[in-house]
Amino acid sequence: MSGGSENLAAQYDFFEAQVVRTERLGPTMLRITFGGGQLARFASGGRDQSFSLFLPHPGQAAPVLPVEEGEGWFAAWRALPEDVRAVMRSYTVRAQRRDPDEVDVDFALHGVAPSSSRSAAPAGPASAWAAAARPGDRVILLGPAVQDNRSVCFHPPAGTDWVLIAADETALPAAAGILDHLPPGLRARVWIEVPHAEDIQDLNVSPETDITWLVRDTVTTPSPLIEAVRAATLPDGAPYAWIAGESGTVKTLRRHLVGERGLDRRTVTFSGYWRRGASEEDLRAEALTGGS
């Protein structure tokens, strides 16, 4: 292993944890608080800090994950039967606390009542697990062991005058985490798309932050997020953009900001959290096999 790989591996570790409590934030969003002694070593870098969460299948007391294999854990995990090996998903740290050591994770529940809509696909295993989660349920986190890690992507360059944030409900926890960590005085224009008006949250925003909530239940356009950003009058000065959510929407917004608004592509951070027409399992399979 090269020195760079060794440094990268040192940034992350496995952490056993269990559900401490759950809280409904709206029809679509559910907050689950995880706790456990091993989380004393979990070192979130804040903002859009991501990590991998391993969940058990129904009937399993804990996720089946061969952490004892060390660096070979991934190959050993993939070699297990699909209905046995732990369900792996990527999530964002919404908040972290000490004494006691706890991590909040907000789940966007799709296909699970009461969040289900007439067009919702059936719930994936992660949404189904979260909706049924109870205190004591066991999980494993693969996350940061140091705060300065590569899974924090929000990095406005020096000289940034204002930031643009565009997200749907799947990226709402990351956007909220970013707003919590914005430097005082930095101006922000924020658009967040959610399925229902009841999913709107009271976020920690400064007077310099202008946040617009877009509710899909109240519009007929297929992508209110795209239309809202396209129609916006943006501030003067050097911008930095962070866009996350449905991959097609994210790509369209990136093309608009770079190609039509003239933003330097190096100042646009973007991430597709899901793709319309593809299930969680489809995307996970593509990621594991290197598919497009």
Alpha-carbon distance of 240 to 187, in angstroms, equals 11
Q: Which residues contact 222 (CB under 8 A, 6 or more apart)?
A: none
When pLDDT is cut at 50, 70 and 90, the band that residue 275 belongs to is: confident
**What tokens does 148 get?**
């300065």
Residues 94-105 have a mean pLDDT of 98
Which tens digit of pLDDT belongs to each residue from 57-73?
999 999 999 999 999 99
pLDDT band at 123 (very low <50, low <70, confident <90, very high): confident
In whole angstroms, what is the distance from residue 173 CA to residue 222 CA? Answer: 22
Q: Tokens for 8, please give them.
A: 């990268």
If one counts every other C-beta atom within 10 angstroms of the C-beta of residue 154, the result is: 21
- Please state at what angle helix 224-231 crosses helix 247-255, rounded to 10 degrees: 10
The one-letter code for the residue type at 49 is: Q
pLDDT at 118 over 50: no
Mean pLDDT of the chain: 91
pTM over 0.85? The answer is: yes
